[in-house]
Structure 1
Amino acid sequence: MGRLTGAIKHLIIINAIMFFAPLLLKMDLTNLFALHLPENDHFGVWQYLTHMFMHGSFGHILFNMYGLWAFGSPLEQMWGKNKFLFFYFSAGIGAGLIYTLVNYYQFNDIYEQLLNLGVSTTEIQNILDYGRYDDEAIAISNKTMREFWSLYHTPAVGASGAIYGVLVAFGLAFPNAKLALIFFPVPIAAKYFIPGIILIDLFFGFTSYSIGNIAHFAHIGGALIGFIIAWYWKKNQFKF
């Protein structure tokens, strides 16, 4: 952690504008810029980039921008502006792609179950559009049907995937740096702390114990892409 570097400063400014301007102007840009499932009519390829600048709450953007500054500044100082930006956007876009793949698989698995039960594509679309169905005729649990509806309608927002990539790269570059959480203020070396956070996301992503509406697989995706790029650069001294 240290001074506010150039790329970090501009990323924070853009994120702040994208968060506060719609609030002040009473505009909702979610359908246009948040990342939707490809089957959703609001989906656009540009959303793999734009969703990184959308946030659901003040706490969401505050946490992400703090992480960007705290862990991204040392990386930009080490790599330079262009190399850092390439890394940041690669991790964020990669996170969005992996998140989409996971959701696409889950959505289509339920879709196939409905087709096998004799539900027509028109009836399925009506379920997705209006959220109503005959639960006696469809032998699928209400929980699964709510998940089906949510996968279709709930878009992903936030820079968290890119931040997880930055966090992993920070851990590779500074493995012995001491980190701590507000609710667990015990300093732990980055080489232990960061894998621990990712394991928590894996647990929540593969179970039903998730706390809140968090895109755990976007976090995991960003961490994976960030690790691959940072590890390759560290081994090969890649010049940008």
Structure 2
Amino acid sequence: MPQLPPVTKALMLICTAMYCVQMLTGYWVEVLFALWPVATDAFMPWQLITYAFLHGSVGHLFFNMLGLWMFGSELELIWGRQRYLQFLGASALAGGLTQLLVVSLGLPSGPTLGASGALYGLLMAFGMMFPERTIMPLFPPIPMKAKVFVLVFGGMELLFGLVGGGGVAHFAHLGGMLGGWLMMRYWRGQPPFPSRKRRR
């Protein structure tokens, strides 16, 4: 059972508190802080980060916070608070930008909300750092290597995104994975970035 380090704990509490505010105050919180398509009057630049703190249901919140605890706790302990926050911010931003890009190409979309983009970035980092570690996901409850887990969930997100998301921002998830992958490559000094001292 991973520990619950301070940043991960704070983020879980903030997301839970924001969900309570959503339930108490109604739709206006989403109007201000969810990520709206650029073509709408509701879009604001800060939404590229704030959307990650909102959630659409108790189940949405629960599974995102479970994933944040499962994958984020260990990474925070390894990286430290500053690097961990940089990584989460980059993954959430990449997820939001990807979603806006796809929507601009004609994909029907309302507001995007949820920490899933940042979470999928953490999943990518976990798979890159611990590729041979065996994990047991809730769905499906089949033990698999972390690298396989990343490939399976990335492939599922791409498939569901292409065939129709059913109200889920699958391309935001893929964008979060891409942002996480790019951050890891940057820190390691691997292409497409210039070489630098290698860090995990």
Q: TM-score normalized by structure 1?
A: 0.76
State the secondary structure of the residue aligned to 1:184. Answer: coil
CA contact (8 A) 1:35 1:43 kept: yes
What whole-Å deviation, never above 9, does each CA across 1:195-216 have from its counterpart, x for those lacking one? 11001111111123x3x31101
Matched-pair contact (CA < 8 Å) for 2:95–2:118: yes
Counterpart pick for 1:218 among 169, 172, 178: 172
In the other structure, the counterpart of 1:161 is 117
Q: Structure 1 residues 66 and 79 mapped into 2: Cα distance closer, same or farther (>3 Å)?
A: same
Partner of 1:84: 84
Aligned to 1:232: 186
Q: Which residue of 2 aligns with 1:173?
A: 129
User: 5+ residue gaps in structure 1?
Assistant: 108-146
Cα root mean square deviation, aligned: 1.7
Which AA in structure 1 matches 2:187?
Answer: W
Aligned equivalent of 1:188: 144
User: 1:55 Cα shift?
Assistant: 0.3
Query: Is residue 172–residue 231 contact of structure 1 (8 Å, CA) maintained in 2?
Result: no
Give how far 1:177 is off: 1.6
Indicate if the aligned counterparts of 2:64 and 2:116 stay in contact, CA closer than 8 A: yes
| 1:94 partner amino acid | A
Q: 1:237, CA displacement in angstroms?
A: 4.8
TM-score with structure 2 setting the length? 0.90
3-state DSSP class of the match of 1:205? helix
Residues 147-199 of structure 1: per-residue CA shift (max 9 Å, x gap):
4xxx3xx1000010000000000111111121233242110000111111001
SS at match of 2:136: strand
Q: How does 1:96-111 map to 2 (within 5 A)?
A: 96-106=96-106
What is the identity, as a one-letter code, of the residue corresponding to 2:87? F
Deviation digits for residues 100-145 of structure 1 (CA, Å, limit 9, x no counterpart): 01111226xxxxxxxxxxxxxxxxxxxxxxxxxxxxxxxxxxxxxx
- Cα contact 1:35–1:155 (8 A) shared by 2: yes
Greater RCO between the two (CA within 8 Å, min separation 6)? 1
Cα distance between partner residues in 2 of 1:76 and 1:178: 20
Which residue number in structure 2 is paired with residue 68 of structure 1?
68
Q: Name segments (4+ residues, structure 1) moved above 3 Å.
A: 24-28, 234-239
**How much does 1:231 deviate?**
2.8
Percent identical: 39
Letter of the 1:83 counterpart: R
2:104 partner amino acid = Y
The CA distance in 2 between the partners of 1:73 and 1:171, in whole Å, is 14
Residue by residue over 1:19-68, the C-alpha shift from the partner in whole angstroms, topping out at 9 and shown as x without a partner, is 01232345641111110011111111111111010100000011001111
Gaps in structure 2 of 5+ consecutive residues = 190-195
Cα separation, 1, equivalents of 2:155 and 2:139: 18
Secondary structure class of the residue paired with 1:158: coil
Counterpart of 1:13 in structure 2 is: 13
Query: What is the match of residue 159 of structure 2?
Result: 203
8 Å CA contact 2:22, 2:30 repeated in 1: no
